[in-house]
Amino acid sequence: MAFRAREIVLPAVGRDLQVAESEVPEPEGDQVVIRQSVSGICFRDILTRDGFMPRVRTPGVIGHEISGTVVAAGPCAEYVKEGDRVASLIYRPCGRCEFCLTGRENLCPNKEVYGETLRGGYSDLAIVSEKSLVKVPGHIGEDEAAIAACVTGMVYHALKVVGNVQDGSRVLITGAGGGVGIHAVQVAKRLGATVIAETTSQSKVEAIHRAGADHVVVTTGRFDGEVKKLTDGGVDVALEAVGIATFESSLRSLRTGGTVVVVGNVQPEPVGLPLGLIILKGNRVEGSISSTRKDMMDVFELSRGGRIRAVVDRHIEPGEINRAYEDIRARKNTGRVLIKF
Ligand SMILES: [Zn+2]
Ligand SMILES: [Zn+2]
């Protein structure tokens, strides 16, 4: 028995997305078919549409933020069964390399990303490998499950696993009103940090404070002077979710020994690195990519009592996708935009 899916297809790089229908076959091997009611729109999807992800297969279903209820499991699936609530990594790990075998599957060199080389998440029915899945506990809502891999799990990995943020850490979050930033504020607070949030939009300040930020810096220019003043000399960790527009200020906002953790690069251009400063202050610049299954499970635990919530700008219909892309590119959204199927 095949399933009828409603989906959003990228016909070719650079083109508008289109709503379509297709047949999803019975799952094979360790494949699992998941019925989704929501799926997130990521800046990476916009970069994919624009041609920055050379491996993307078109025409194809893009998107990679997958969660929902299992409706069919392949003959080799052993971890999940029909009816289970699950959330998926944004990629399929190989399960055999040194990184996969040591719980660092986000670095797996053999991983295949949903919505690029594998069928993606912009559909009411997603097909994923069981190797990508974690079960979703009952206290986690639908929207929270939808953002577990690519937003909350991703920022948890960057802040906790890479940045070693802990009780008393001083943390700077750039682009704090966006889909990534506003959840990073919540996760950093939950880890016990004092949070300085940077945004370019006055209109997002209230929402950023509501997410838990201790200080919000509104600027379209440099902000390192103000961050240093607010933190008595600088932050331990700067989460850089923007790129060239904020990177240098983030680096200059660090205290001695501090680290910039780079997770976002919405304007994909190289940045200048002041080497003398890095040497003198013993600073580090670290990249952090995506999340692991453990990160998602840790975020589910940290979320108990509703302490990490999805901040959703709005739920859109599939047919509104191209308009939503323009709004996200113009940074009009506060929090995540989710597609409702
Ligand atoms: Zn994403
Ligand atoms: Zn691997």
Neighbours of 222 (CB within 10 A): 13
Name the residue ranges covered by the structural domains of the chain. 3-150+290-340, 164-287
Contact criterion met (CB below 8 Å) for 322 and 297: no
Ligand nearest to the CA of 107: 2
User: Cα(121) to centroid of ligand 2, in Å?
Assistant: 21
Q: Tens of pLDDT along 71-130?
A: 999 999 999 999 999 999 999 999 999 999 999 999 999 999 999 999 999 999 999 999
Class of CATH domain 164-287:
alpha beta
Q: Tens of pLDDT along 214-261?
A: 999 999 999 999 999 999 999 999 999 888 899 999 999 999 999 999
Ligand nearest to the CA of 154: 1
User: Cα(218) to centroid of ligand 1, in Å?
Assistant: 25
Half-sphere exposure of 297 (CA within 13 A, CB side): 8
Q: Tens of pLDDT along 134-185?
A: 999 999 999 999 999 999 999 999 999 999 999 999 999 999 998 899 999 9
pLDDT value of residue 80? 97
SS3 321: helix
Judge if 3-150+290-340 and 164-287 fold alike in CATH terms. yes
- pLDDT at residue 316 greater than cutoff 80: yes
Q: Which of 126, 31, 36 is nearest to 78 (CA)?
A: 31
User: Cα(170) to centroid of ligand 1, in Å?
Assistant: 26
User: Cα(53) to centroid of ligand 2, in Å?
Assistant: 20
Which CATH fold would you assign to the domain 3-150+290-340?
Quinone Oxidoreductase; Chain A, domain 1 (3.90.180)
- pLDDT at residue 264 greater than cutoff 90: no
pLDDT value of residue 20? 98
The token pair at 74 is 């392949």
Cα separation, 323 vs 11, in Å, equals 17
User: Cα(60) to centroid of ligand 1, in Å?
Assistant: 17
User: Cα(86) to centroid of ligand 2, in Å?
Assistant: 21
pLDDT value of residue 297? 98
Average pLDDT score over the chain:
96
Ligand nearest to the CA of 105: 2
Ligand nearest to the CA of 101: 2
pLDDT value of residue 268? 72
pLDDT value of residue 267? 74
